[in-house]
Chain A
């Protein structure tokens, strides 16, 4: 089945710097991906999504890049703020089961003031 992995479990950045969180996925046929933010004691919160017919999508202060050649996703956060401190997950929609999303184990982002 699909599996989603992350390169770094913890990322520490200085306030104001840009953050890049990476994610690898295993199924080259996957066509839809979502990034979620989870703050302590809360449920995951949607940040941004991207379909496989795109290689880049921008939101407010966030950009998701999709490299289908190497099956890699990244989330870029511009001008990182203390409120961005959380665990970030990428989720891949199932190819054989469109109802199912596969989540990676997450990257914890620490923003230092």
Chain B
């Protein structure tokens, strides 16, 4: 167990709706990253939150947005859902320590939220 919890575990939405996914990070971690994993594919980076601010973003449109709270938990919001948004959404927490060689920090993943868009 990684100590990272996500909710809900499964949900079904229809095209055009909005969804909010939640993540509680591992105790002591200060950073949350969100990944989208389509069936049969590797996870794709959506964005990362560090100290309540977005700190890096992948190739996802603005309708994917997020929040990080003072307790380091996080939300992923997706507006105007499309069929291709159907995927497993993974949250990963880490303790980022900025060093001279860049950020370090192993990612600890939750079990994911399986979103189906009909």
Contact = CB atoms under 8 A, between A and B. Distances in A.
Nearest to A104: B42
A44 to B, nearest CB: 5
Interface stretch (B14-22, B77-85, B98-106): B98-106
A34 B108 CA distance: 12
B90 A44 contact: yes
Interface string B31-64: 1010100001111110010100001101000000
A100 interface: yes
A105 B41 contact: yes
Given A42-B112, A99-B31, A106-B40, 13 more contacts: A4-B42, A34-B106, A41-B111, A43-B2, A43-B90, A43-B112, A44-B107, A45-B109, A46-B108, A98-B56, A99-B50, A100-B48, A103-B42
Interface of B: 2, 4, 31, 33, 35, 40-45, 48, 50, 55-56, 58, 90, 92, 96, 101-104, 106-112
17 contacts: A43-B2, A43-B109, A43-B111, A44-B43, A44-B109, A45-B109, A46-B106, A91-B42, A97-B56, A98-B103, A99-B31, A101-B33, A101-B43, A103-B35, A103-B44, A105-B40, A106-B42
